Structure 1
Amino acid sequence: MSKEQKQKEQNAPSIIERKTGRLIQEEEYGQKAIYFLYHHFLGRVLLKMIFARPYFSFLRGLYYNSFLSKKDIAPFVEKYGLSKELLKKNYQSFGAFFSRKEAVYLREAGRENTKENGEAWKGKIQEKRHEKGQAGKRPFYATSSGKLQAYKIDQEGKIIFLGSENNGESNLLPLEIKGNFYSIEKILKASCPEFLKGGTLLVFRLSLPDYHRYIFPARGRLLRTKKIKGRLDSVRKEAAHFKAFSENKREISLLELEGMGKILHVEVGAMLVGHIHNHLGFKPSFDKAVGCLREKENKPCRKKHLAFRFQAGEEKGYFSLGGSTIVELLNDKIMIDEDLFESTNKGLETKLEIGERIGYGKA
């Protein structure tokens, strides 16, 4: 493939906006620098020795959390067409601006994140303290803003990709994202749990302009968490062919959703992201002991642990400073909307907003 062809392919629209159906091309912040680090010998040396190390992320964080970085806010807002209202809030640093907290409303698919849209939809689905949608189904919401890809998981715990070029025939492949290949086992550092087989895998890619806080997708309980240390690679498409998901720092949460069963929620750190911040225990709602599902030396853990209860749309945490990714692995009781699979099968990511409905739990 010639240089011109590669450039044309890179510039081709690869994202579809869910609320408008428009095809768009995303311009990444620092795109050329990321490409250099991952596609040139000197860049890869610098990446391995300096830029992918946690201490570099820490040092960058010192600058972005200082008043010196305040001057970077206005150019960033202008470059990405963000609301000018953000400039009136007098953030004391770029870090404070980046991890800002905004109102999130649960709403129907493709609707704007406004109180009018959210409250009207939420009022229809709440009944006797339980959330119900059409025909008694429970809505499942987008955990974050960003670009989404959706994949089926087969009965052996492998990812199914339905290619449009082969008339819907399925291919069993490791997870492919812009040229990267990952298996569920590499993401979890464990074999695929039985309760996920036949389910769905969702990948939310957050770029710098996206809102970097994330919510619980439905009402339920947090049963267990696990932290996996690793280096901080970029999760951008310019870093293709490098195993970001399986090597980056990440946190895995086992959630039990009301009426939907268990899922795994995985936050993945990326270059220039200093930390993954989860609000574990930020309020006294650890109120019920549950059995630990983790095995030690092939034997079930016999200890009892307290479960953290949460509501749909309640904030789970946030990322600081940088693009990042959230991976959700769902059981077969949760039905994700078909338009998300269709876009993925066409090689497109779906741009959506935090809190909009993306599926239902089976009645």
Structure 2
Amino acid sequence: MPSPSSEPIRYFHREKRVVETETVYGEDWLRWTYESALGRASLHALVRRAWLSRYYGWRMSRGDSVRRILPFIVDYQLNVDEFAKSPFVFKSFNEFFYRALKEGARPIAAPADDRVAVLPADGRHLAFQNVDGAAGFYAKGQRFDLASFLGDAELARAFAGGAMLISRLCPVDYHRFHFPVAGTPAAARLINGWLYSVSPIALRRNLGYLWENKRMVTLVDSPVFGRVAVCEIGATMVGTIFQSYVPDRAVKKGDEKGLFRFGGSCVVTLFEPGRITLDRDLVEQSANQLEVYARMGERLGVAAR
């Protein structure tokens, strides 16, 4: 019988209303690294370290990396019609990777109603009405360590018992992230760390990668939702988290916040207790051990008060 870590990654597609199996970019390498003894040895000696991701990022920023773009589009059936620029004008694979989209490619749910929060990124989402409900989702017996993740015990107490959304981006996804609510964001706080993968292949071994990795924490002061924490997590081959917003300047929900350079990555959104009612389909699928594939701007939930 296969171990949980070796099982395929399945998710619920929100629009299609079906369960699909994920095509994992670099799956053979990921499984060797996290599921074999030799691979795990290389993980600690080499893979998790920032210099490897910087080197790979440098390669993906070289001019000769453009030859990877068209095969990637074809292999993963990307919709070029939504790209803001033609795929033929990118100067590197990295530039293509963090591409912008045309205006309107990601409609914002209820744009005039600030009581409705939206998903901050394209990807596979887990939603928990209470952060304590995240216990054991990826790794049996492991709880989400909020204090370690936020790097601040007092801040963790403020969000304890609140709602949490984990948005996992694959390399094939649109890699810009956005604000889920309207409000005024403070400057992002960097917490340095390792660069483990955030694929379920890795997280089934150790949920702690989410709070051991490099990450950035931004507190958004929302008139409707109170304090909201929007947190980006770097991962293997994702050494750069770039923030494009201006701190202390009001934003609308759906406004761009920043981007990831090459690789898979993750955004975690936290709400204080009693501030949001997450949409039922997201919560129910998460309770059934399924991530939900949905896109930035789709509805996340509604203010509870």
**TM-score w.r.t. structure 1 length?**
0.76
**TM alignment of 1:44-59, pairs within 5 A:** 44-59=40-55
Task: Give the conservation status (yes or no) of the 8 Å contact 1:151–1:201.
Answer: yes
* 1:176–1:182 contact (8 Å) kept in structure 2: no
Looking at structure 1, the residues matched to 41 and 169 of structure 2 have their Cα atoms a distance apart, in angstroms, of 26
AA in 2 matched with 1:139: V
Of the candidates 262, 266, 269, which is equivalent to residue 321 of structure 1? 262
Quick check: 1:228 aligned with 2:191? yes
SS at match of 1:209: coil
What SS class does the counterpart of residue 147 from structure 1 fall into?
strand
- 1:126-151 Cα distance to aligned partner (Å, 9 max, x none): 2xxxx35xxxxx11011000000011
2:295: which partner in 1? 353
Relative to structure 1, the CA distance from residue 338 to residue 90 in structure 2 (aligned partners, 3 Å threshold; closer, same or farther) is same
Structure 1: which amino acid aligns with 2:117?
A: F
Q: Distance in 2 between matches of 1:149 and 1:233?
A: 19
Distance in 2 separating the partners of 1:245 and 1:186: 9
Pairing partner for 2:211 from 242, 246, 257: 246
Q: How does 1:266-305 map to 2 (within 5 A)?
A: 266-281=231-246
Which amino acid is the alignment partner of residue 251 of structure 2?
Answer: F
**Identical-pair percentage:** 26
Q: Which residue of 2 aligns with 1:308?
A: 249
Whole-Å Cα distance in 1 between the matches of residues 66 and 201 of structure 2? 27
Aligned residues: 297
**Does structure 2 retain, via aligned residues, the 8 Å contact 1:220–1:258?**
yes
Alignment check: 8 A CA contact 2:233 2:265 kept = yes
TM-score when scaled to structure 2? 0.89
Runs of 5+ unmatched residues, structure 1: 106-112, 133-137, 162-172, 287-306
Tell me the residue number matched to 1:188: 150
1:151 is the counterpart of 2:128: yes
Within a 5 Å distance, the mapping from 1:1-363 to structure 2 comes to: 2=1, 5-6=2-3, 10-11=7-8, 14-85=10-81, 88-103=87-102, 105=104, 113=105, 118=107, 125-126=111-112, 131-132=113-114, 138-153=115-130, 159-160=132-133, 173=135, 176-177=137-138, 181-191=143-153, 193-239=156-202, 240-242=204-206, 243-281=208-246, 307-331=248-272, 332-363=274-305
Give RMSD over aligned pairs.
Answer: 2.3
Larger Rg: 1
Query: Which position in structure 2 is the counterpart of 1:135?
Result: none
Quote how far apart the aligned CAs of 1:89 are.
4.0
Contact map agreement 1:233 1:270 (CA 8 A) in 2: yes
Structure 1 counterpart of 2:167, one-letter code: F
Provide the rounded CA distance (Å) in 2 between the counterparts of 1:198 and 1:46: 37
Contact kept? 2:5, 2:35, Cα under 8 Å? no
Verify the 8 A CA contact 1:104 1:313 in the aligned structure 2: no
Residues 49/7 of structure 1: CA separation in 2 closer, same or farther (3 Å cut): closer
Change (3 A) 1:95 1:8: closer
SS in 1 for 2:292: strand
Structure with more strand by fraction: 1
SS in structure 2 of the partner of residue 309 of structure 1? coil
Deviations 1:227-285 (A, max 9, x none): 1111110001111313211110000111111221101111000000120001243xxxx
Distance across 2 between alignment mates of 1:8 and 1:176: 12
Once the 2 structures are TM-superposed, how far is the Cα of residue 7 of structure 1 from its aligned partner? 8.9
Structure-1 separation of matches of 2:42 and 2:160: 40
DSSP-derived class of the 1:69 partner: helix
Q: Deviations over 1:271-305 (max 9, x none)?
A: 00120001243xxxx6xxxxxxxxxxxxxxxxxxx
Conserved in 1, the CA contact under 8 Å of 2:225 and 2:271?
A: no
- Could you tell me which amino acid in structure 2 is paired with residue 177 of structure 1? Y
In structure 2, C-alpha distance between the alignment counterparts of 1:182 and 1:24, rounded to whole Å: 26
Contact 2:6 2:31 in 1 (8 A): no
